[in-house]
């Protein structure tokens, strides 16, 4: 009736909530995919850093010239530590995203059941 036309009442609220859920679901999934691909590239980066550090250490041991590569190895290890930190942050973010995705899905199922039962 007049209440729904004014954009209030349980019907309008349910419609808005449903629209919000429809919008959130793909956004959360997309964000989750992006976080996942960033985490994969972080792992790749960490592996490259490891092999580069190993190579630098090998060169340092093999060479006859007195060239100190230790500072570079230290820089690489610092970079590696930062990559690991970022990866931990991303892992936590992804865990929260998965929980949010689960909540959104559960809420959607609950709302659909309520709507099909004919009550708000």
Per-residue pLDDT at 7 exceeds 60:
no
Q: Phi then psi for 18, rounded to 5 degrees?
A: -65, -45
Q: How much is the mean pLDDT over the chain?
A: 83
| pLDDT recorded at residue 81 | 93
Decide if 37 contacts 45 (C-beta within 8 A). Answer: no
Q: What is the pLDDT of residues 58-79, one digit of tens each?
A: 887 777 666 777 888 889 889 9
| Residue 8 CA, distance from chain mean position | 36
| pLDDT recorded at residue 89 | 93
59: which residues sit within 8 A by CB, 6+ positions away? Answer: 69
Strand intervals (E) in the chain = none
| pLDDT recorded at residue 3 | 45
Q: Give pTM, 2 decimals.
A: 0.57
Per domain, the residue ranges of the chain are 9-66, 67-119
| pLDDT recorded at residue 40 | 92
> How far apart are alpha carbons 54 and 42 in whole angstroms?
18
Per-residue pLDDT at 102 exceeds 70:
yes
């Amino acid at each position: 009736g007049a209440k729904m036309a004014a954009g209030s009442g349980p019907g309008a609220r349910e419609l808005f909530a449903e629209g919000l859920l429809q919008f959130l679901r793909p956004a959360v999934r997309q964000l989750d995919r992006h976080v996942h691909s960033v985490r994969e590239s972080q792992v790749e980066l960490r592996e490259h850093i490891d092999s580069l550090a190993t190579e630098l250490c090998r060169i340092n041991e093999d060479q006859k010239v007195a060239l100190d590569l230790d500072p570079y190895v230290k820089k690489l290890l610092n970079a590696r530590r930062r990559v690991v930190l970022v990866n931990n942050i991303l892992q936590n973010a992804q865990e929260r995203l998965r929980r949010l995705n689960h909540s959104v899905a559960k809420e959607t199922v609950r709302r659909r059941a309520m709507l099909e039962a004919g009550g708000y």
